Structure 1
Amino acid sequence: MLNFALSRPARITRAHKISAALVATASGAAALALTATPSNAETTAAHAPSTVRPVSANGLPLTAKDRADDGTKGRQLASSVTAGLKVTAVERQGHTAQQAANRSVERKVIAAPKAAPKAAPKRYANNLDGWIRESLDIMKAKGIPGSYEGLHRNIMRESSGNPNAVNNWDINAINGIPSKGLLQVIQPTFDTYHVSGTPHKLTDPIANITAAANYAAHRYGSIDNVNSAY
């Protein structure tokens, strides 16, 4: 019995055919459902930013020619930018040099010393004190020695401070060349030792003092060394 049952060919009934068809239909539906559902990779690709995909101006993908042209344009743009930077650097250097030159000129103008104002001419009193002080300044400029005390002492002895004093009784008066002025100078002595820059007049106070001091410097070393008639 057992052997007969195993060797007996199986019969496919109508029920079997219907079950197989149902299974096949269910499998196809599942396959379709799986196919219709997008994978994560496809979803990510679909939602990728458009900037990732190089496109031309019209929105279409770039062709090989477009990519080649874009590379050339990129190099040209880089060259233009580099040239612009070079020009800017040169302009900056020129501007810096101009600023330095301007500062140098400004420093020179600022550093230039102003001309010192001319000193007002010194004024002296028109009296014995003023005559002695003015004579001393001229003597100093000419290198003639003498002091205020030396001049004042000899003037008071010779004329008592009178610029128009005249000696009409000594040997010079007898010879026709009387002594005159503050320091009683005769005309020949005055002419020989007159100091330039003073009036050429024997009785002028400044001219008389400086000529007498000049003569005393040559004869006695200084008017300060004179203590009597000379």
Structure 2
Amino acid sequence: MSASRIPGRLRRMNKTQKLSVAGVSAVAAAALSLSLVPGNADAETEPQAVSGAPVVFASAAGASQAKTIQSSVIEQHSTAEQLIKASDAAKAKKAKSVSKEKAKKAKAKAHAKAKAKAKKAASKRGKQGASRSHSRTPVFSNNLDGWIKESLSIMKAKGIPGTYDGLHRNIIRESSGNPKAINDWDVNAVNGVPSKGLLQIIKPTFDFYHVGGTPHDQYDPVANITASANYAADKYGSIDNVNSAY
């Protein structure tokens, strides 16, 4: 715009008004200059021309303020990093704790499982042992040979002496191997207590020398043999020492 076209009012600005306008321009330039100063600047910047306004240099106060802002940003950044690290550490600690708890539970579960398995195996072994023991239990025949052998196994368990030969010999002499034999003519019979069974034992003697685990019956072959052998052991040391009426 040429001077000839400037309104008369502006052309007539006095010196005070001109200085006022220049001052406003200077303030604006200073603000712009501060925004262009680097964050770490601590010296005056090179002069910058702004829209034809007078050249303005950044003041020491502006540089200090910029430096303070930069320091605050750095401090905030550092604090943020510390918070992130603390959060990561807390997460890692929690994950480790959870992992440790899971491992502990898994170990307890494995221990309980192993214990239950061992108990089951022990129970199975016990049943198998009982089964084997049962299968090893001898089965005696229901005849004179079987009765003598069964009586001998009981006598051995009870500590009653005697042999197969001693029992067999006395049985043949007393009853000829007849478990239902009864003497109804001797003095015992006269007294009302006849001798009965394989080894011809009277009731009072049978009752007194009866061996537990056998039937309480004078006519039972095994009960008769073991009670008579027990009586003979007490009176003669063993059934083997008996060679006649006893």
* TM norm structure 2: 0.61
Partner letter of residue 92 of structure 1? S
1:212 alignment counterpart: 228
State yes or no: 1:84 paired with 2:91: yes
**1:48-127 alignment runs, 5 A limit:** 63-112=70-119, 113-114=122-123, 116-117=126-127, 118-119=130-131, 120=134, 123-127=139-143
User: How far is 1:171 from its partner?
Assistant: 3.4
Q: 2:173 aligns with which of 144, 150, 157?
A: 157
CA distance in 1 between partners of 2:243 and 2:103 (Å):
77
User: How far is 1:147 from its partner?
Assistant: 2.5
1:131 alignment counterpart: 147
Q: 2:213 aligns with which of 197, 206, 210?
A: 197
CA distance in 1 between partners of 2:116 and 2:214 (Å):
42
CA distance in 2 between partners of 1:169 and 1:107 (Å):
73
CA distance in 2 between partners of 1:215 and 1:107 (Å):
55
Q: Deviations over 1:151-203 (max 9, x none)?
A: 22221222121111223444333444332211111222112212233222211
Q: Secondary structure at the match of 1:114?
A: helix
CA distance in 2 between partners of 1:145 and 1:74 (Å):
96
2:163 alignment counterpart: 147
Q: Secondary structure at the match of 2:197?
A: coil
Q: 1:184 aligns with which of 200, 207, 222?
A: 200
CA distance in 2 between partners of 1:74 and 1:147 (Å):
99
Percent of aligned positions with the same letter in both sequences?
A: 53
Partner letter of residue 77 of structure 1? I
Q: How many residues align?
A: 169
Q: Deviations over 1:51-79 (max 9, x none)?
A: xxxxxxxxxxx954433222111000110
User: How far is 1:122 from its partner?
Assistant: 5.3
Runs of 4+ displaced beyond 6 Å? none
Partner letter of residue 174 of structure 2? E
Q: Deviations over 1:23-78 (max 9, x none)?
A: xxxxxxxxxxxxxxxxxxxxxxxxxxxxxxxxxxxxxxx95443322211100011
Unaligned 5+ segments in structure 1 are: 1-61
